[in-house]
């Protein structure tokens, strides 16, 4: 059996239910088109990033920075979702740099020496875009007094609310989802500024997928956007469309890392 995993924006619960419904439609459409061994449900046992290189991968959603750093050549790009949240611009999106609700900071410069939170070291939204914003301000490779790793954007928000951190960069799609479905979680933070935009989280399949299979995946994704009965599902997911991007479209994410390295700020510190 092939593997399908869409775990990147699958919480809170309304998002998980809508994501499952979306996959149900895609699965049925792929089966009707004659594709064999299509899973009827999304895999929840394989960790999201392990799914990216699974030999049976049919479809998964990756992060853009791991794609340009590690996955190119090992997977094929299928499409990039277009979301309707603030901070999104077609298939591109920014991160919101957030601080505590009571913070006196009015600019990123005023956060020199603050305690920062990141979700995971390879995250585009939580690290790569964040680092690009901070790098021009760093001195001798440092800007923050300390950095903690939280394991997730929502955990980073919670760390600021709890006083364990003072600043973090939160993916604007995650922020929009939390604002809609768990707004109380944002009561302790506010948006200070936003980062530059870059291409969003791509849908990928395994490297040896045929051109026909990739074309079919794109076809059923287009059907999901056009299907009237999926309107409520798309509304919950804030899903507007799917764009087909090239490898070159993701190269600017690697450029951001190179720029930070030239400024002698290779890691957030």
d(CA 78, CA 186): 33
Domain 3-83+200-254 matching CATH 3.40.640.10: the answer reads no
Domain layout of the chain by residue ranges: 3-83+200-254, 92-198
Among 81, 80, 79, 78, smallest CA distance to 209 is for 78
Domains 3-83+200-254 and 92-198 in one fold: yes
* pLDDT, tens digit, 9 for 90 and up, residues 184-223: 999 999 999 999 999 999 999 999 999 999 999 999 999 9
* pLDDT, tens digit, 9 for 90 and up, residues 250-259: 999 999 999 9
CATH topology for the 92-198 domain: D-Maltodextrin-Binding Protein; domain 2 (3.40.190)
Is the pTM of the predicted complex or chain greater than 0.85? yes
pLDDT at 182 over 90: yes
Query: Sign of torsion, CA 35 39 40 43?
Result: negative
Please report the pLDDT score of residue 177 as a whole number: 97
The torsion angles phi and psi of 8, rounded to 5 degrees, stand at -75, -35
Among 37, 43, 39, smallest CA distance to 61 is for 43
pLDDT at 1 over 90: no
């Amino acid at each position: 059996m092939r593997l399908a995993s869409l775990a990147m924006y699958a919480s809170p619960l309304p998002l998980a239910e809508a994501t499952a419904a979306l996959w149900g439609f895609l699965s049925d459409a792929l089966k009707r088109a004659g594709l064999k061994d299509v899973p009827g449900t999304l895999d929840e046992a394989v960790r999201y990033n392990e799914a990216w290189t699974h030999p049976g991968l049919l479809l998964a959603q990756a992060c853009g920075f791991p794609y340009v750093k590690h996955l190119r050549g090992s997977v094929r790009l299928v499409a990039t979702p277009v979301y309707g949240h603030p901070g999104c611009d077609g298939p591109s999106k920014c991160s919101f740099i957030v601080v505590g609700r009571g913070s006196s900071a009015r600019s990123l410069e005023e956060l020199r020496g603050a305690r920062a939170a990141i979700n995971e070291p390879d995250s585009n939204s939580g690290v790569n875009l964040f680092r690009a914003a901070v790098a021009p301000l760093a001195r001798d490779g440092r800007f923050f007094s300390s950095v903690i790793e939280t394991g997730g954007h929502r955990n980073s928000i919670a760390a600021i609310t709890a006083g364990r951190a003072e600043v973090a960069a939160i993916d604007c799609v995650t922020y929009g989802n939390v604002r809609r479905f768990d707004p109380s979680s944002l009561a302790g933070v506010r948006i200070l500024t936003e980062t530059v935009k870059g291409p969003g989280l791509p849908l990928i399949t395994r490297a040896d997928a045929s051109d026909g299979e990739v074309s079919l995946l794109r076809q059923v994704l287009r059907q999901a956007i056009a299907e009237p009965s999926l309107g409520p599902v798309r509304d919950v997911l804030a899903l507007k469309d799917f764009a087909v991007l090239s490898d070159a479209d993701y190269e600017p994410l690697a450029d951001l890392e190179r720029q930070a390295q030239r400024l002698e700020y290779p890691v957030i510190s």
